[in-house]
């Protein structure tokens, strides 16, 4: 009787604490599990790391898997995504990584694998059904925003050679009241003054979203060290994504697994725009100085003017202090810029206005510092928006928006060459300025403001992304691509704003003779329709011998009289076969503010 009573009491206690449920799921009662399994291995886990909802992992179920391939069955007239999975990916994720699912859809996924159990190997082909949630993104609560991602993507041109393309798009949601609460140097702030919620996604060539980031686990608009603008995305050679935001720089795989997510080293602040990787695992980060003592004795936080090199452990190994290397008081370009569009600090009420020499001089004498257009350390005098490390001579190539110049600087911190108009440079830089020539090497007739006669050659103006094209370069002859935004062209504002245009451009530079030849351009023929006052990209793609462009802020509509924006931009993706002047791909997005875009490689992500 006592034994029976004891058993009843023990059972009651177990039930009261829910232990029986735990046992049924695989505790002391045995190895039974009660989650749903579709196939002959393990369970399916959607969004396995919490930031990539259109990914999944089919767990290995305790087996060893090899020879794995995946196919996401497309919708009608859709794009098939298929790939092989490397052993390191199978081991890292504990199963088969699934990428490219459609949102809000019961996806059909075909997998093929060899299952190893003891001495037995079995080849298995099976199909899984994986449902995903609808797309989601935070909203700004403003009348311009019409959807959480974009209204639609219109595919205007697609040649068969590019049908397998996937484009990674790094965009942002417009500012909201949630994320505009922090400033560094009153009345203006640093990277958190323009604090925009991320809008990062991958589209296929039918315009369907096949991946997006849900960043809430790693991002918080209201927290200084978890916010900022996510920018500088790049797919490294190991297939992982590197990027930064605000006071952080990070590296993740496409399923959302963290490799690292670090605070900037204490000596630096305000990441934005660019982060380049080197073959030795080092990163070159565009940041600023946390505390600079100027020659006049004033302490300032600087703005977008320091390049920091860190090793794999995050240790700083070198820095390029551009306020020491270049001339932070060269204001020639600053006086010609449209005050309504200073990168992401866009103020439509100032559209078409420029800053006079008197206004700049008055600002220089003041204690007004921060992310404002002006000369001298502590102001936005150089605005570097891309870094490209060149291992051929251990140098960096930078794009400086506010100097309208592409500049190469060596490890010794000496300027090797400057691609830009000659006006305003001090004597010590004069020998570094490249001379424009035609295809026969004859010097072109260009004045100091960069206006050239009887030629199609033009410099870049407020450009973004200056990248060396390694595959086309040899020795002292190098090719450099750039996105020429086109503000302040020829050191002046046009009579009518609609005369502005943006273009993609490729230059051939003879580093020994110190000459530059323009060998390709596109965009001028579209006139103002693709004008992108800020952001954007041009980059060579070796896999298809092509040039890819993103006109990221084209199609913005605003009222010049009231200074009010009437719409978000309508960016355009284009891709050209090398040397061609008609695009093989043209895809327009609607109602989304763009930063950069580039082709995403499934092979790098999963097969290597």
Q: Please confirm whether the linkage preceding 595 is cis (ω < 30° from 0).
A: no
- Burial label for 525, CB within 10 Å (0-12, 13-18, 19+), is exposed
Pairing outcome for strands 81-85 and 299-300: unpaired
Local structure of 527: helix, strand or coil:
helix
Local structure of 473: helix, strand or coil:
coil
Residue 269 phi, psi dihedral angles, 5° rounding = -150, 165
Asked if residues 104 and 135 have their Cβ atoms less than 8 Å apart, the reply is yes
CB atoms closer than 10 angstroms to residue 582: 11
Asked if residues 169 and 594 have their Cβ atoms less than 8 Å apart, the reply is yes
Cβ burial 141-177 (10 Å sphere, 16+ → b, else e): eeebbeeebbeebeeeebeeebeebbbbbbbbbbbbe
Q: Can you give the length of the chain in residues?
A: 608
Asked if residues 485 and 344 have their Cβ atoms less than 8 Å apart, the reply is no
464 catalytic per annotation: yes
Residue by residue, DSSP assigns 153-183 as: EEEEEE-GGGTT-EEEEEEEPPP-GGG----
**What separation in angstroms does the CA of 11 have from each of 19, 22, 29?**
9, 14, 14
Asked if residues 537 and 483 have their Cβ atoms less than 8 Å apart, the reply is yes
Local structure of 362: helix, strand or coil:
helix
Distance CA 581, CA 597 (A): 20
> Both tokens of residue 431?
């020998």
Q: Which of 93, 273, 402, 464 is catalytic?
A: 464
Distance CA 346, CA 332 (A): 21
Distance CA 328, CA 330 (A): 6
Asked if residues 197 and 176 have their Cβ atoms less than 8 Å apart, the reply is yes
- Which conformational region is residue 514 in: left (phi greater than 0), alpha (psi within -120 to 50 degrees), or beta? left
Residues tagged active-site: 464
């Amino acid at each position: 009787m006592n034994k029976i009573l004891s058993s009843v009491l023990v059972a009651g206690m177990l039930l009261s604490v829910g232990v029986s449920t735990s046992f049924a799921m695989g505790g002391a009662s045995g190895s039974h599990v009660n989650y749903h399994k579709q196939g002959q291995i393990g369970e399916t886990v959607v969004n396995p790391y919490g930031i990539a909802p259109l990914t999944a992992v089919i767990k290995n179920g305790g087996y060893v898997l090899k020879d794995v391939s995946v196919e996401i069955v497309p919708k009608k007239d859709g794009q098939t995504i298929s790939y092989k999975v490397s052993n390191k990916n199978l081991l890292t994720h504990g199963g088969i990584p699934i990428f490219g699912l459609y949102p809000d859809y019961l996806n059909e996924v075909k997998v093929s694998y060899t299952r190893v159990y003891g001495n037995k190997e079995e080849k298995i082909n099976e199909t899984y059904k994986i449902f995903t949630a609808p797309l989601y993104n935070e909203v700004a609560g403003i009348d311009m925003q019409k959807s959480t991602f974009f209204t639609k993507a219109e595919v205007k041109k697609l040649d068969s050679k590019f049908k397998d393309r996937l484009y990674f798009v790094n965009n942002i949601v417009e500012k909201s009241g949630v994320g505009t609460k922090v400033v560094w140097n009153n009345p203006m702030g640093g990277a958190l003054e323009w604090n925009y919620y991320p809008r990062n996604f991958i589209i296929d060539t039918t315009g369907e979203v096949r991946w997006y980031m849900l960043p809430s686990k790693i991002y918080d608009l209201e927290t200084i060290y978890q916010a900022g603008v996510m920018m500088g995305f790049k797919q490294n050679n190991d297939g992982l994504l590197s990027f930064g935001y605000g006071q952080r720089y990070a590296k993740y795989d496409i399923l959302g697994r963290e490799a690292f997510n670090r605070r900037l080293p204490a000596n630096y602040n305000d990441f934005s725009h660019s982060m380049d990787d080197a073959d030795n695992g080092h990163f070159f980060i565009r940041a600023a100085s946390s505390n600079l003592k100027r020659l006049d004795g004033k302490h300032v936080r600087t703005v977008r003017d320091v390049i920091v090199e860190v090793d794999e452990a995050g240790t700083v190994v070198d820095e390029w202090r551009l306020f020491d290397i270049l001339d932070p008081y060269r204001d020639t370009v600053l006086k010609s810029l449209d005050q309504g569009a200073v990168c992401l600090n866009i103020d439509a009420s100032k559209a078409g206005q420029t800053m006079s020499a008197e206004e700049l001089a008055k600002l220089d004498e003041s204690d007004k510092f921060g992310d404002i257009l002006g000369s001298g350390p502590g102001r936005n005098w150089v605005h570097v928006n891309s870094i490209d490390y060149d291992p051929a001579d251990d140098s960096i190539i930078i794009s400086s928006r506010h100097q309208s110049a592409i500049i190469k600087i060596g490890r010794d911190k000496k300027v090797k060459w400057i691609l830009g108009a000659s006006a305003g440079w001090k004597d010590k830089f004069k020998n570094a300025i490249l001379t424009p020539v035609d295809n026969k090497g004859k010097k072109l007739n260009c004045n100091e403001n960069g206006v050239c006669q009887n030629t199609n050659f033009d410099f870049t103006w407020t450009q973004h992304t200056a990248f060396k094209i390694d595959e086309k370069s040899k020795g002292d002859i190098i090719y450099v691509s750039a996105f020429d935004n086109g503000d302040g062209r020829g050191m002046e504002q046009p009579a009518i704003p609609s005369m502005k245009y943006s273009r993609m451009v490729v230059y051939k530079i003879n580093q020994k003779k110190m000459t530059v030849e323009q060998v390709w351009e596109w965009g001028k023929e579209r006139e103002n329709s693709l004008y992108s006052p800020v952001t954007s990209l041009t980059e060579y793609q070796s896999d298809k011998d092509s040039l890819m462009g993103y006109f990221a802020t084209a199609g913005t509509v605003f009222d010049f009289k009231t200074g009010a924006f009437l719409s978000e931009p309508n960016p355009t993706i284009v891709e050209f076969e090398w040397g061609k002047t008609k695009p093989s791909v043209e895809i327009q997005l609607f109602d989304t503010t763009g930063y950069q875009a580039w082709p995403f490689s499934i092979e790098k992500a999963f097969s290597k």
